[in-house]
Amino acid sequence: MQLQPTGPHDTKTLRRFVESASVVTIHHVITGRNAWHSTWSTQYSEGSVHSTIDAATEFAETKRVQGTVFEVLELPALALSGDGCTLVVLELNEKSVFSRLDVRRLQDLIAILEPKSMTLQQFAMVFRASSPLWSQNYPQRNSIVFRSAASTVELAPLDPTCVLQIHQSRPDGPDFPLSWTPRESKVTSGIISSVGQMISKRISGTRRPLPLSLRRDGT
């Protein structure tokens, strides 16, 4: 399923309180040109974020023109759900997802503000590109993307033991569907997985010390 962009019209929907947090796998479609000046667009484009590989490849079929090559990137994303709605927080153009997030400051924040007392809209503000929780000079465009979906939409939990994949298209002729060849991605999910577990534990009422590897002051 195509995940919908969030915007001002979602304010009422995103007022729902957070009930759960998890890390899921999202599929992002990017395009390039099959030419000697091969350039790839890793910017967000309308309709390019999907919940499944099948939905992503079907979307690519609708965008086919001669000479276009597609890649479907498997990316880890933070899914925050409450009362029938899920907010998906997706970071683009980062090999180590959430590595530029000040995790210690986030931990301090949710220690003061119980996640169960926060709305999806408030979490969107926490993770927005202009948030002070991101490192200095954090890109304001093509970095953090928010999507929303009904909780009935199945989002695949991220398996931390599996390597994320990139699926590249190959045309077999104008009258045939695209073929897809997978290869290993360099994107890693260790930090975003720790963030998801931290928020989830806080929601369930149990606390877990922040791993030393994520502590900026080493304490």
**Residues 53-70 pLDDT 10s:** 999 999 999 998 887 889
pLDDT(28) > 60: yes
In this prediction, residue 69 carries a pLDDT of 87
pLDDT(146) > 80: yes
In this prediction, residue 36 carries a pLDDT of 46
Distance CA 121, CA 83 (A): 13
This prediction has a pTM of 0.85
Would you place residue 38 in the very low, low, confident or very high pLDDT band (cuts 50, 70, 90)?
low
For residue 37, the Cα-to-chain-centroid distance in whole angstroms is 29
pLDDT(219) > 60: no
- pLDDT, tens digit, 9 for 90 and up, residues 183-217: 999 999 999 999 999 999 999 875 444 454 554 45
In this prediction, residue 170 carries a pLDDT of 92
Most confident of 3-7, 144-148, 163-167, 208-212: 163-167
- % of the chain surpassing 90 pLDDT: 57
